[in-house]
Structure 1
């Protein structure tokens, strides 16, 4: 009898541990001290970046455990611990799904240039993957949507110039900014600004992953493009922990830039999701994709279905400065990222 009671106690302890672990996956950014939360720890940071897979994983685990519980009920007539685990796993799956649904699971529709009003700004945030992206398709998208600003991680000066020339040939004139990393650097980040936005100039930055431009006349929003280094894989982080710390430091450096730039727009490939702790420092700014109802759609990698990847490309704005009037997650052949297209109107 004593052994049986001890086994039941151990069983409930195991259930409690499963519950704690499952709940921890819902918001690991809250667990741990600032700058070192569970969401930025090796293994945990890779898993929380793939929240859609956590929905699937917990759903499958709940289903399999439910089948086991059904067998135990038929065999022994009771299975309280297994049933409890089924409920825990099912609720965790629902919780992860609710987070994604709250951010928006629609890819949206590309707004047309004809519907853009004089005071609206249409921005395309697209990782070009060097020369891989199809230039003609980018030009077509810019013309279709009436894009005023392109934030282009992994473009480099040469690619940026070619795209600007292609746009000019199509009657769309843009000013190009390639940053200070060198005009032939394929990993560099560039910005193209339509001449209709007025003249802009670059503000030097000490951060390798930041390119910031401001209007010469003072009109128009400051625009900041960011591209922190990508995090290492689980195995690489074990042998090179500094690589993981570099990722933490670079994301932590760029996440607050929107809040530090009144009236500004910060966009790029952040190599982090809204579930990683550094991205919790963006307040009062928000991800414009969430306001547009497209924030739960993955932007990387394109080879995965849009609802099964990770969302690491963001456009950050302060809702006190801008209202989001349209948004879409778009695919351009050649690049491994989906682009984020956001239309904004300044709040007067």
Structure 2
């Protein structure tokens, strides 16, 4: 003897409803972590990077609730989708045409401790003709191989073994070569770029420590937060500041948003390419996220942003055109 079909379906229906509400609850928890900036510790510092993917997944319970006519779940799921959209979608929408002004093309590249292909990067530089290049994880060997090509007449280098070194190459003179903060885990180069008509820009090769899982390592989340806080805030006086490189942070990380909110423009987000992934790009199974950025203070706008894969590196080279008012 078998139970009526309706009776047999009831446990499955209840299980589906429970799974739906649990999924929505998990998405709400993710939103709370993202909104409250509760990402200063493991595992949230690492997971928050994947918010754009979770935002896409949030559509699934909404559709499921609508199809099965679970209206209360649909309302909550709809609010979740709307909030995720408010966090993520603006990065994919251009925020307006740049104003008239002086042009500066900026490129940034993380070599992956010297493994990135110098010939491929050189070919990209010859094609793109950037005015300034910032490099992260700059080893002495990679710096010597690249410098031998004589692609730029000027440089400000802090090449070091391992991942700590950074540098700047430019078509114009670089002066006042210094480290951003000697207390930072990585040696982030800063210099004054003096272009031909007398204009001066401050350029920073940005590379805060990563928020890796092991608390005892140099890249713990707490140290990552401190490194981001040591990067200079935006200013409306003095030379226009450009910071380009591997920030080991996305726009979903609250320490990075705090830095941007001091008055910086994220070039990729301004031109509607803020969701273009930059790491990892070497076949690693993790979904790629956006950790490499070009920031410029609010006296400038971005008119273009692109990212290019370079053999040997797990980061893409990024290029941004800036318009300085």
> CA separation of 1:244/1:119 partners in 2, compared to 1, >3 Å: closer, same or farther?
closer
The corresponding residue for 2:202 is: 222
> CA separation of 1:216/1:326 partners in 2, compared to 1, >3 Å: closer, same or farther?
closer
The corresponding residue for 1:300 is: 279
Q: Which 5+ residue runs of structure 2 have no aligned equivalent? A: 1-16, 95-99
Number of residue pairs aligned between Structure 1 and Structure 2: 295
The corresponding residue for 1:22 is: 27
Measure, in 2, the Cα distance between the counterparts of 1:118 and 1:141: 25
TM-score for the superposition, normalised by structure 1: 0.72
Which of 209, 216, 226 is 1:249 aligned to? 226
The corresponding residue for 1:339 is: 317
CA contact (8 A) 1:121 1:343 kept: yes
> CA separation of 1:95/1:151 partners in 2, compared to 1, >3 Å: closer, same or farther?
same
TM-score for the superposition, normalised by structure 2: 0.77
**Between Structure 1 and Structure 2, which shows a larger proportion of helix residues?**
1
The corresponding residue for 1:232 is: 212
CA contact (8 A) 1:268 1:313 kept: yes
CA contact (8 A) 1:258 1:316 kept: no
Output aligned runs, 1:163-242, within 5 Å: 163-166=146-149, 168=150, 172-179=151-158, 183-194=160-171, 197-204=172-179, 205-206=181-182, 207-209=184-186, 210-215=188-193, 219-233=199-213, 236-237=214-215
**CA-CA distance at 1:299 after TM superposition:** 1.1
> CA separation of 1:157/1:240 partners in 2, compared to 1, >3 Å: closer, same or farther?
closer
Output aligned runs, 1:292-331, within 5 Å: 292-303=271-282, 308-320=287-299, 322-331=300-309
Q: For residues 190-238 of structure 1, what are the alpha-carbon distances to aligned partners after superposition, in whole Å with 9 as ceiling and x for unaligned?
A: 21112xx2343302442343211114697320101121111123xx35x
Output aligned runs, 1:123-162, within 5 Å: 123-162=106-145
Measure, in 1, the Cα distance between the counterparts of 2:116 and 2:41: 33
The corresponding residue for 1:96 is: 84
> CA separation of 1:177/1:208 partners in 2, compared to 1, >3 Å: closer, same or farther?
farther
The corresponding residue for 2:47 is: 47
> CA separation of 1:132/1:54 partners in 2, compared to 1, >3 Å: closer, same or farther?
same
Q: Which 5+ residue runs of structure 1 have no aligned equivalent? A: 1-11, 32-36, 71-78, 107-116
Measure, in 2, the Cα distance between the counterparts of 1:240 and 1:118: 44
> CA separation of 1:62/1:29 partners in 2, compared to 1, >3 Å: closer, same or farther?
closer
Q: For residues 250-286 of structure 1, what are the alpha-carbon distances to aligned partners after superposition, in whole Å with 9 as ceiling and x for unaligned?
A: 12222x4444984111121111111211122222112
> CA separation of 1:291/1:39 partners in 2, compared to 1, >3 Å: closer, same or farther?
same
**Between Structure 1 and Structure 2, which shows a larger proportion of strand residues?**
2
